Amino acid sequence: MMGFSYRQYADDVLSGEQIACQWVKLACQRFVDDLENGEERGLYFDDGAAQQIIAFFALLKHSKGEWAGQHLILEPWQQFIVGNLFGWKKFGTGLRRFRNSFVEVARKNGKSTLGAGLGLYMLVADGEPGAEVYSAATKR
């Protein structure tokens, strides 16, 4: 499977080819900086781990709406988020760098789908014995 180019996405955002807010630009700059200097801070990017969760998402199918029954393919910005969360690891332990994330996008842009896929992956494919996943909302 040909891997998604996280570096290309980051470069496109930083060059202005891909329109993004200041926070996304900062995340892309951090990604580029860490690729170049992360080793000094005990970090490395495990592309295989990042690609594994992206491949997991492709096994899932939309359950309703115009895409019902079609496989879920993450957009580049979603792949960048998921790849960063699961790809960055710490030398020595191999543990993921990030334990928390904050994703804010406008309504109807797939937040629930993204969250559901992350939850499913962490429940069944993350190698955590007795994994538990919780989801909450502010409205209901």
pLDDT in tens, the chain (140 residues): 345 788 889 999 999 999 999 999 999 999 999 999 999 999 999 999 999 999 999 999 988 888 888 999 888 999 999 999 999 999 999 999 998 888 888 888 888 889 999 999 999 998 888 999 988 878 76
Q: Give the tens place of pLDDT for each residue, 5-33.
A: 888 899 999 999 999 999 999 999 999 99
Is residue 80 within 8 A of residue 114, CB to CB? The reply is: no
pTM, full prediction:
0.88
> What's the CA gap between 31 and 43, in Å, rounded?
11
Identify the three-state secondary structure at position 89.
strand
**Taking Cα atoms as reference points, which of 75, 80, 91 lies closest to residue 26?**
80
- Can you give the pLDDT at residue 108? 85
